[in-house]
Amino acid sequence: MSLGTVDDSEFKAFTDKITNAVNSGQLKQAIGESAGRIGQQSLKQFKANTPVDTGTLRRSWTVSGPHYGGMSWDIKLSNNAEYSSFVENGHRTRGGGSWVPGQFFMEKSKTQIESQLPFLITPVLVKFRNLLS
């Protein structure tokens, strides 16, 4: 006894569009653009939250990437000022008599970027969705 037939031609056409988009590299390109946007926004956020005395610490921020490796996208934010970790986490004074508290500007920046991620990723997802329409 047959319950009828199912017309799955639209579903097959949709899966073919997705397969073609993935195989052509369009999805990878879209995600790469999104990762680049996240990297640039992160750089801006880190610079904005970095305390300024001489300006060297703020100017020392760099971003590299995005780089695709294996199954993940990597963005590297770095600061080559030797004292950045001391400003972030705190340190003893030269004589060791007192403690200078940390500024925690990197932790603050990380939290702010994490809250912005949905807004940074959504445009790429909309663009990709429109490719499939």
Omega prior to 66 cis, within 30 of 0: yes
| Phi/psi-derived region of residue 93, left when phi > 0, alpha when psi is between -120 and 50, beta in every other case | beta
Query: What number of other Cβ atoms are within 10 A of residue 61's Cβ?
Result: 19
| Token pair belonging to 117 | 């991620």
* Cα-Cα-Cα-Cα dihedral sign, residues 114, 120, 126, 129: negative
Please determine, for residue 34, whether its predicted confidence score (pLDDT) is greater than 80: yes
Query: What number of other Cβ atoms are within 10 A of residue 68's Cβ?
Result: 13
2 band by pLDDT with thresholds 50, 70 and 90: low
> Percent of the chain having pLDDT more than 70?
96
Please determine, for residue 129, whether its predicted confidence score (pLDDT) is greater than 80: no
